[in-house]
Structures are given as structure tokens and as C-alpha cells.
Amino acid sequence: MIWTRGQKLSLQVLEHQEIFSRTGIARALADGVSRNFKVSDLSEVSTLPDIDWYVIRETAVEVGILGIQRDLPERCSATARFIAVDPQYRGSAVGTRTILIAEKELRREGYELFGRVPETNGRGLYFWLRCGFVGQSSTIESESVTWFRRISRN
């Protein structure tokens, strides 16, 4: 089932878990945590509670995955907890386009989109800045993450 589409992409509700075992997707998910994170440490990511998973498709090809958690960090907000694009499909702004269409759909549903990146993930920090979001410190002292929120367009 298609959740949303646009920018030559579609985001489909995840129906089959095998995408998590694909080498490129697993590596991209691990890279989303930090560059030295081991793929084997991701074994439970697909079963995390409260995460809605979407397959990123470009012209009928599954190129990545997006995990969104609603009502985090606050009510009426949604956080992109995971975005992973298979390395062989990178370089054509698939990740950025995914965030833009997800943000548009979430806004229609009444949610504001946030990003959340471990502070050790420089690539992830830069990704959210490129998408037009601004970093904010975590309000939870035990978290070593940076939250991202859309820059106001007033």
C-alpha cells in the first residue's frame, strides 16, 4: 500500500521484513547510527515498537527504507528515526526527496517532522542540514543526539 508519493518516489508501507537483510540496506542503516557501527548490531531494528516502516521505491525499484515514530519528541510531531538508502542508489538525492515527501504527507496528517541523529554521525548531521532543518540540543541529558526541526519560513 502506498503511503505517499512525489519527487519520482513512492513510500510504501512495509509488508515484508526481508528488505532488512539486504546487504546495502543493512549497511546504510548501520551508517545511520555511526560509521563504525556493526551491521550485526542491527538485528532488532525491524522490531522496534512504535516505528512505522516505509519502503522507498524509485521507478518500481526498492532503493531504501524509512522509519518514522509518531508523537516523538512531543504530541503532533513525528521523528524520522531511520532513513537508509542502498549505497548503489545514492547520489541522486533519494534521501532528501524522501524526507520532503514524507514531511508533506505528515503535515497533511497534522504532524511536524523532526530528525534525530547520534552526535557521532557527521554524515547524518550534514544530511538534515541539507534538507533545510536546523539542529537543536537534546532536552534529555542522557541522550547524545541532535534533534533537527524545519527552519521557519516566515
User: Could you tell me if 149 and 112 are in contact, meaning their C-beta atoms sit under 8 angstroms apart?
Assistant: yes
Set out the domains of the chain in order of their start, with CATH numbers. 2-117 (3.40.630.30)
> Would the pLDDT of 154 be above 60?
no
pLDDT at 34: 65
Mean pLDDT of 69-77: 94
> Would the pLDDT of 2 be above 90?
yes
Look at the pTM and tell me if it is higher than 0.85. Answer: yes
Exposure class string for 88-125: b at 16+ Cβ within 10 A, else e: ebeeeebbbbbbbbbbebbeeeebebbbbbbeebeebb
How is residue 14 annotated by DSSP? -
As a whole number of angstroms, the distance between CA 66 and CA 62 comes to 12
pLDDT per position as a tens digit, 34-57? 666 666 667 778 778 899 999 999
Provide, rounded to the nearest whole percent, the portion of the chain with pLDDT above 70: 89
